[in-house]
Amino acid sequence: MKKIDIHRFDKRMESTLEILRSCGVTKRTTVKHPISKGNAEAIIKYGTIRSLQGKELSTRCTDLYQLLTCARILDKDFGHCTKEDFISMVETLDQRYSKWRASKSRMTFKWFYKWFRQGDNYMDIDIFPTEVAWMRRGMGKRDMVSVQRADCW
């Protein structure tokens, strides 16, 4: 039985891959900020690795788009970035986006960069690269909105 996809993640993935293949700029993109070809290829390859790991299409689609956003913010090749560049990226994410999205983007980038530096067996290695090891989720219980029963009525 075919799964019903009301969010059209297949179309979103096609669109995201099209943007990445064109290095971040297409006729339909609202953000006209290109990324390097090497960064685009690395993000696409990471998406393939995540697919082989059995990650859902929705997760992969979100991850690739968040990595595209991070690449645009960094504005240089991942291989040439320093810890200071990543600190600046995190500050920009925190300023532009909600706590939830910034937190998710940080963790997605942290795992991506671990794969980028350590290769396909990155899941077997417990240590993150020093450039991103300091990144934390950034959302504690106090940041999460709690809904009380009285709020619903």
Rounded Cα distance between 131 and 5, Å, is: 38
Q: Rounded to a whole number, what is the largest CA-CA distance in the chain? A: 53
Instruction: Please calculate the CA angle 42-36-62 and round it to the nearest 5 degrees.
Output: 50
Count of beta carbons in the 10 Å neighbourhood of residue 105: 25
Which pLDDT score, from 0 to 100, does residue 125 have? 87
Which pLDDT score, from 0 to 100, does residue 71 have? 95
Quick: pLDDT tens for 94-132. 999 988 899 999 999 999 999 999 988 888 888 999 999
Residue 90 · residue 135 · CB < 8 Å: yes
Rounded Cα distance between 84 and 65, Å, is: 23
Q: What is the mean pLDDT of residues 14-43?
A: 84
Residue 67 has pLDDT above 70, yes or no: yes
